[in-house]
Chains A and B, each alone.
Chain A
């Protein structure tokens, strides 16, 4: 069964706005990762947050992790049309394999 569940399933915003996506998972993790996928192509690694971290930043990305609630959020600030993509969270339980959520489709309109 899927480990991660993202919401919303789809998100439509205007350029310059912030986009927030959430991810919930079910079992213990070593870390949680976020990926972007453009038009059904390969995935691009965005950011990794370890289980002992609560917040992490990378450029316009901010990720939070709440292990007590088994949830994470990805915030993209000042969004651009080029951010239009599907975003997936993935959990690493420590066996070098990832379990992916269902993803959020983000549409950023100019």
Chain B
């Protein structure tokens, strides 16, 4: 199954700034998924990113706040824009495992102060 390199692993950011999270996959994949995990909570899907088209956002998430790029079949970025303390979460990317289930990146632990 695919291996995902996600970075940064953690960051502490000032409110009002933006952070871009990167995920690099070691094989070509059609779809990449971005999730948010708020403290002590489960994972919530933010959006699905297909190469060559705009990302599809889930209810409650908008492109202006969470712009996503998918320039090729092995790479994607998620930007958390104009951050507030409520954005403090773990952000994870994932891809289909081709055989069942999904592979996840190691996560980005974001703290907004």
Bind each other: yes
Residues of A within 8 Å of B45, CB to CB, are 97-99
B interface majority secondary structure: strand
Q: Decide if B104 touches A44 in the complex (CB within 8 Å).
A: yes
Contact indicator per residue, chain A 82-104, by CB within 8 Å of chain B (1) or not (0) = 00000010100000111111110
We find that the number of chain A residues with CB closer than 8 angstroms to chain B is: 21
A interface majority secondary structure: strand
Report which of A42, A45, A101, A103 forms a contact with B92, defined as CB distance below 8 A. A42
- Closest CB of chain B to A36's CB: distance in Å? 11
Q: Decide if A96 touches B31 in the complex (CB within 8 Å).
A: yes
CA distance A2 to B44 in the complex (A): 9
B76 within 8 A of A: no
CA distance A31 to B103 in the complex (A): 16
CA distance A6 to B35 in the complex (A): 19
Q: Decide if B41 touches A45 in the complex (CB within 8 Å).
A: no
B53 within 8 A of A: no
CA distance A27 to B37 in the complex (A): 22
- A88's closest neighbor in chain B, by CB? B42
- A102's closest neighbor in chain B, by CB? B42
In chain B, residues 54-113, which have Cβ atoms closer than 8 Å to a Cβ of chain A?
90, 92, 94, 96-97, 100-107, 109
Contact residues of A with B, CB < 8 Å? 2, 31, 33, 35, 40-45, 48, 88, 90, 96-103
